[in-house]
Structure 1
Amino acid sequence: MPVQVSPERFDEIVGEALDLIPEELAARMENVAVLTADAPSPTQRRGRTGRSLLGLYEGVNLTRRSPVRYSAVMPDRITIFRLSHCRIVRDEDELRRRVARTVAHEIAHHFGISDDRLRELGAY
Structure 2
Amino acid sequence: MSEDEFEEAVDAALEAIPRRIAKHMDNVAVFIEDRYVPRPGDAPGIELLGLYEGIPLTERGEWYAAGSLPDRITIFREPILQMCSSRDEVVEEITVTVVHEFAHHFGIDDSRLHELGWG
Superposition TM-score, scaled by structure 2 size:
0.91
TM alignment of 1:6-85, pairs within 5 A: 6-43=2-39, 47-49=42-44, 52-85=47-80
Unaligned 5+ segments in structure 1 are: none
Q: Hey, what does 1:114 align to over in structure 2?
A: 109
How far does the alpha carbon of each residue in 1:18-37 deviate from its partner, in whole angstroms, 9 at most, with x for none? 11100011110000001100
CA–CA distance in structure 2, aligned partners of residues 99 and 110 of structure 1: 17
- Structure of greater relative contact order (alpha carbons < 8 Å, 6+ residues apart): 1
Provide the alpha-carbon RMSD of the alignment. 1.7
Q: Hey, what does 1:95 align to over in structure 2?
A: 90
Q: Give the secondary-structure state (helix, strand or coil) at the position aligned to 2:63.
A: coil
Supply the AA of the counterpart residue of 1:94: E
CA–CA distance in structure 1, aligned partners of residues 50 and 43 of structure 2: 12
CA–CA distance in structure 2, aligned partners of residues 96 and 6 of structure 1: 13
Identity of counterpart residues, as a percentage?
A: 45
**Length, aligned pairs only:** 119
Superposition TM-score, scaled by structure 1 size:
0.87
